[in-house]
Amino acid sequence: MNAETATPIQEKQPHSGPKYIAHWVLKTPRRDKLVDWYKKVFGAEVVHSDDMITFLSWDEESHRLALVSLPRALRFVFPFGSRLRRKIFGIDHIAHSFGSLEALLSSYARIKQQGIKPVWCINHGPTTSIYYEDPDGNRHEFQVDNFPTLAETKKYFDSQEFADNPIGVNFDPDYLLERLKQGTPEKELLKRGAGTRPGTRQPENKKTLTWRTL
């Protein structure tokens, strides 16, 4: 191959997508309830509020969430509108990552003390995930990566284990927290089945998403 016939090396194009999610906005007739919920679950602080909108943040971003008020009468017209919509179309949930399993379970314990329980706890394989729903039914996934590198995570997605069960295995967060406090290494607790209390029967896992998983 000579210089005339060689295929020129393509220069790597810079990533053109956005760097991260800066914030999201929810419209709600239950603004006060949602403000209280996000304070408890996310540790959010109100950075601005007026008759129309409330801005909240819980990290270095000036505002992570905005709540826009809808007429309160809509609470009675569409009492479960967000939950029904999520099961049919549109955004199903937003995922938020924690730096360690200990941080994820510490968050779970803090939120539980305030009377808020998760709607679903599952080890998907790539992540260990705890799901919550706000008063309007908007769902949030609190997760931690089960593998130390992105390369290992991508490899798992191409594994037979994931092909056989892409949904995952349910777990008991209290049992997982017990094992963590007993000194079991996080590496062991991040494996599928590590959070299944002995004697607990797992529901049959299916390859297709169901109304239960959604």
Query: Taking the mean position of all CA atoms in its chain, how far away is CA 84?
Result: 19
**Strand (E) or helix (H) holding 129:** strand 127-133
- Residue 125, pLDDT above cutoff 70: yes
Q: What is the pLDDT of residues 36-58, one digit of tens each?
A: 999 999 999 999 999 999 999 99
Interior CA angle at 117 toward 50 and 54, to 5°? 10
Residue span(s) of the chain under CATH 3.30.720.110 come to 86-197
Contacts of 197 (CB under 8 A, 6+ apart): 172, 175
- Residue 214, pLDDT above cutoff 70: no
Strand bridging mode 120-123 / 127-133: antiparallel
Q: What is the pLDDT of residues 145-175, one digit of tens each?
A: 999 999 999 999 999 999 999 999 999 999 9
The model's pTM is 0.84
Share of the chain above pLDDT 90, in %: 69
Over range 106-133, report the average pLDDT: 97
Residue with tokens 């509020």: 49
What's the pLDDT at 10?
A: 52
Residue span(s) of the chain under CATH 3.30.720.120 come to 22-71
Of the candidate CATH numbers 3.30.720.110, 2.30.30.90, 3.40.718.10, 3.40.50.300, the domain formed by 86-197 belongs to 3.30.720.110
Q: What is the pLDDT of residues 64-95, one digit of tens each?
A: 999 999 887 666 665 556 666 666 667 889 99
- The CATH number assigned to the domain with range 22-71 reads 3.30.720.120
pLDDT averaged over every residue in the chain: 86
pLDDT-derived band of residue 6, with 50, 70 and 90 as boundaries? very low
Alpha-carbon distance of 145 to 156, in angstroms, equals: 12
